[in-house]
Amino acid sequence: FQMDRTPESFLDLFPLDAIVYLTPDSENVLEDIDPDKVYVLGGLVDETIHKRLTLRRAREQSLQTARLPIREYMVKAPNSRNYHSETLAINQVFDILSTYYETRSWPVALRAGVSSGKGYVLPEAAEQ
């Protein structure tokens, strides 16, 4: 994957209609990766303080948003803390997207990138 570092904002580098801001708060499900789009991965550390911040930022810029299809392919696993979160670290989102791009399989990609500590598992894992 090609990566560049620049002090410029992605808003200045790409047309707004080509940008898709990935946020777990979006109503839109990412169904496929479009090679003509630019996907922005957020970078918030504390998910409890900044709820919906990435969605608000995207809306302020009139950007398209999408979320990973965690709810569509995974189920909530019973756990002692009753903890379930769709907020992932940047490296996890990148791993999911790159695995999906290679395999074209959301279950394979989500299995590779969503740790069990997030409280979600694939349905077959929940049955075991």
pLDDT one-digit tens code per residue, 54-97: 889 899 999 999 999 999 999 988 877 778 888 888 889 999 99
Q: Which residues pair with 67 in a beta bridge?
A: 29
How many CB atoms lie under 10 A from the CB of residue 100? 22
Query: 3-state DSSP call for residue 101?
Result: helix
- CATH number assigned to the domain covering 10-121: 3.40.1280.30
Q: Is the dihedral of CA 111, 117, 118, 123 positive or negative?
A: positive
Positions marked active-site: 46
> With 60 as the cut, is the pLDDT of residue 49 above it?
no
The rounded mean pLDDT for the chain is 87
Q: What is the pLDDT of residue 1?
A: 64
C-alpha span between 122 and 128 (Å, rounded): 11
Q: Which residues fall within 8 angstroms of residue 113, CB to CB, at 6 or more apart?
A: 88, 92, 93, 95, 96, 99
Q: What is the pLDDT of residue 82?
A: 77
> With 90 as the cut, is the pLDDT of residue 20 above it?
yes
